[in-house]
Amino acid sequence: MYRNMSASADINSFEEECMKNVAILGSTGSIGTQTLEIIRCQEDLNLVAVSAGSNISLLEAQIREFHPVVAAVWSEEHAAELRTSVADVVPSCRIVSGMEGMLEVATIAQSDILITAVVGMIGIKPTIAAIEAGKDIGLANKETLVTAGHIIMSLAREKGVSILPVDSEHSAIFQCRNGESGNRIQKLLLTASGGPFRGKSRKDLEMVTLEMALHHPNWSMGKKITIDSATMVNKGLEVIEAKWLFDVKPSQIEVVVQPQSIVHSMVEFEDGAVMAQLGTPDMKLPIQYALYYPKRVYLSGKRLDFSELTEITFQKPDLDTFSGLQYAYEAIETGGSMPTVLNAANELAVARFLNRRISFLEIYEMIRMCMDEHKVIPNPSVDEILATEHWVYETIEGRWKS
């Protein structure tokens, strides 16, 4: 009897040791729900905390299914509603709100890793807080790295925390670099689908409607990144993201259009060898890779069938038509607060485009105007980054009456 109890105690502690506790910022979004699909299938992943913006019906369903310790929602009204609605089944779940709530999710003592699947610069403070608390980060929220990469990467080094890319291109590069430590990278080849308007001229883009821009040929994603893919600003943000993640110069990052979205990115080493990671377009692979790194575990889903694959093609990006990509190279070369200007102007412009207040091409115009007028702050602090965001919003509000 005693022996049995001791054996079961051993098994329990072994299971606890093998269990990875996961917190998610943005659990109701595209990346957030796909992360939960993985957790649902894997017995050694355990969800301990979630945060959402305003989709409280989905958040409620997540709380009922996964019984997290903490759940955050943006407004206190929604939090109060949720407290009442989940009290019967999950009374142990603390429902919190606002930035304080996001910070609590990001730093919860029980978690091993935080998946940052929130959209936009709102992720900066919670990501930094999580790193301070020693949490590994599965980073999807690229806007945070674009604006505060200099702070985040050095803090992560200081705290011994891993920043594991979730973005498919960066995960591909990360996978290609495995086992290559000490070998010098010549360049990163960041692939891009080219979005729904690949091959179109600037004149064609004048006619673009919201519905056309929301129709991505290969990927199903949240609305903001879908528009970013259509403008190719997404690829620009990813160039900046790659610079911070892999510590390379912008001139070492080449964007290559790969319309079938099968080659997720490549690394060229100094001997000329090029390593690539291929797969079907499915975000669950990079999410799961970040959750289990360095281990690979079974993931169900469609496999590449090379007997059916008719072509894998490559093209040069059209920087004149998709000027947002060019602006991103310019922003990262300038450095300091300029990437924040690019990102914040884009966030506001995309929100306005989604509300049908501006045209597709005005997204580029807003970014250009803010970049032209900005006085760069070198090495900005978090407060200066947020003040720059505020300046961008005021500048656009003052000039764009739409």
Q: Which residues in this chain contact Mg ion in the complex, by CB under 5 A?
A: 167-169
Pair 119, 225: CB distance under 8 Å: yes
Please state, as a whole number, how many other Cβ atoms lie within 10 Å of the Cβ of residue 248.
Answer: 17
* 143 lies in the binding site for ligand NDP (CB under 6 A): yes
49 binds ligand NDP (CB under 6 A): no
DSSP state, residue 376: P
State in angstroms the smallest separation of the CB of 63 from ligand NDP.
Answer: 13
Q: How far is the first Cα of the chain from the last one, in angstroms, to the nearest whole number? A: 76
Q: Count the residues in the chain.
A: 402
The least distance separating ligand NDP from the CB of residue 378, rounded to whole angstroms, comes to 25
Smaller CB separation from ligand NDP, 163 or 283: 283
Q: Of residues 48, 53, 104, 163, which one binds ligand NDP by CB under 6 A?
A: 53
The footprint of ligand NDP on residues 308-367 (CB under 6 A) is none
**Which partner from the list Mg ion, ligand NDP, none does 55 bind, CB cut-off 5 to 8 Å by kind?**
ligand NDP
Burial level of 236, CB count in 10 A (0-12/13-18/19+)?
buried
Cβ of 109: how many Cβ atoms within 10 Å? 8
Which one of the spans 112-120, 127-135, 293-301, 371-379 is the region binding ligand NDP (CB under 6 A)?
112-120
Buried b (16+ CB within 10 A) or exposed e, 26-41: bbbbbbbebbbebbee
Q: Are 192 and 322 in contact (CB under 8 A)?
A: no
Q: Residue 31 CB, nearest distance to Mg ion (Å)? A: 11
Q: Which of 216, 255, 253, 225 is nearest to 346 (CA)?
A: 225
> Please, which residue, 136 or 167, has the CB nearer to Mg ion?
167
Query: Is 264 a binder of ligand NDP (CB under 6 A)?
Result: no
User: Binder to ligand NDP among 23, 32, 93, 227 (CB under 6 A)?
Assistant: 32
User: Does residue 221 touch ligand NDP according to CB under 6 A?
Assistant: yes
Residue 216 interacts with ligand NDP (CB under 6 A)? no
Which residue number places its CB atom closest to Mg ion? 167
Residue 258 binding target from Mg ion, ligand NDP, none, CB below 5 to 8 Å by type? none
Report what 52 binds from Mg ion, ligand NDP, none; CB cut-off 5-8 Å by kind.
ligand NDP
Alpha helices of 141-205 — where are they, by DSSP H?
A: 142-159, 168-177, 202-205
Structure tokens at 106: 């990001």
Q: Which does 225 bind (CB under 5 to 8 A by kind): Mg ion, ligand NDP, none?
A: ligand NDP
Residue type present at position 111: S
Q: Which of 22, 31, 233, 275 binds ligand NDP (CB under 6 A)?
A: 31
Strand partners, 45: 20
Residue 123 dihedral angles phi and psi, to the nearest 5°: -80, -10
Binding of residue 122 to ligand NDP (CB under 6 A) = yes
Helical spans, DSSP H, in 255-381: 284-292, 323-334, 338-354, 360-373
Angle between helices 142-159 and 233-246 (to 10 degrees): 10
Near ligand NDP by CB under 6 A: residue from 49, 105, 115, 119 = 119
135 binds, among ligand NDP, Mg ion, none (CB under 5 to 8 A by kind): none
* Residues of this chain that bind ligand NDP (CB under 6 A): 26-32, 52-55, 74, 117-119, 122, 140-143, 167, 219, 221-225, 283
